[in-house]
Amino acid sequence: MGEIPSQEEVKDILKKKLNQAHEKLWSFGFFILSINNLDELVKKYGAKIRSDILENIIAIINNSLREFDKFGMWSDNKIIVIIMNVYRGDLRIIANKYKRIIEAQKMTSDAENVGLSFDIVGSINKVDDNLNSLIKRIKQLLSDKNYYQQAVRIVE
């Protein structure tokens, strides 16, 4: 699958993006794609399906990002995408685009279609954000009960 930034490396990227945003008065956003049924699929189809699914999704993301946008793994089943120079409405459009593209991919295992269940949550940086406030917001987004009731949700 290649070297995908880990959560610790993503935190370093977020810190750099925050510095750029403060210096150049840019906004940036992030969204997290959470594959809800990844563990179920691994139990049903075996461990190889995990790497197949992640490679497929990461290839989609990697092929459509601008060179200054970044992504990495937030956890075993969560991919974070960081988009520079974006505002809330635009981030929602971008996240929905990824959702449609990923849903359109036909993942198969032993000639059987593998259905992915995933959610996307995200946010835009705030003027007074620091790394700790961003990490706190990410944790809140991922622990929110409403998170699993909407396919794409972008918050302030």
- Segment-wise mean pLDDT, segments of 10 residues, the chain, 156 residues: 85 95 91 89 88 89 91 94 90 89 76 78 91 93 65 59
Residue type, 104: A
- The pLDDT score that the predictor gives to residue 150 is 46
User: Is the pTM for the entire model greater than 0.85?
Assistant: yes
- The pLDDT score that the predictor gives to residue 36 is 85
Q: Where are the domains of the chain?
A: 7-155
- The pLDDT score that the predictor gives to residue 30 is 94
- The pLDDT score that the predictor gives to residue 12 is 97
Query: Domain 7-155 sits in which CATH superfamily?
Result: Reverse transcriptase/Diguanylate cyclase domain (3.30.70.270)
| b/e burial code for range 64-80 (CB count within 10 A of at least 16 → b) | eeeeebbbbbbeebbbb
| 8 A C-beta contact, residue 17 and residue 83 | no
